[in-house]
Amino acid sequence: MADVYTQVKRSAVMRSVKSKGNKSTELRLIEVFREQGIKGWRRGYSVTGHPDFVFLSKHVAVFVDGCFWHGHNCRNTQPKENQDFWTKKIGGNIERDLAITKKFESRGWKVIRIWECELKKKNRSALIEKLRVALGEKSGGS
């Protein structure tokens, strides 16, 4: 499908998209935390690397990554136009994610990366198990 915008307009639109404010995915994860009685998290904690949530007492950083922007292969889609740009952009995001993960791990933190697709209802039980294992919690709450 051809883009409905000119290249100049599309560039302006894409520049206006900011990395902060992925509130819908964060809110879905908060819903899971509350449903499961997972406590001790803080949202938007100011630390280099900007995790979406931290569990300070457990030294756990949680990142909720959009599948498209962070290169998850769940949908295996990339724009057909400007492929070199998108390959470089998404590849850079993947490299940055790895560097941030290594930085946290070098400080003794555990990093949990949750893909946007893991927040779907059909994946809920696997997500809950992933969280519980990573947080060292037993089933049924903290």
Given a cut of 50, whether residue 65 has pLDDT beyond it is yes
CB atoms within 10 A of CB 40: 15
Tokens linked to 73 = 């292969």
Given a cut of 90, whether residue 15 has pLDDT beyond it is no
Contact status, residue 111 vs residue 101, Cβ threshold 8 Å = yes
CB atoms within 10 A of CB 16: 7
111-135 pLDDT, tens digit each: 999 999 999 999 999 999 999 999 9
Distance (Å, rounded) from C-alpha 91 to C-alpha 87? Answer: 6
Could you tell me which residues come within 8 angstroms of residue 24 by beta carbon, excluding any fewer than 6 positions away?
Answer: none
Closest of 8, 68, 15, 37 to residue 131, by C-alpha: 37
Q: Quick one: pLDDT at residue 142? A: 44
Distance (Å, rounded) from C-alpha 60 to C-alpha 44? Answer: 13
- The length of the chain in residues reads 142
Tokens linked to 137 = 């919690």
76-101 pLDDT, tens digit each: 677 888 889 988 999 999 999 999 99
Every domain of the chain and the residues it spans = 20-135
CB atoms within 10 A of CB 6: 9
Q: Looking at the domain 20-135, which fold is it?
A: Endonuclease; Chain A (3.40.960)
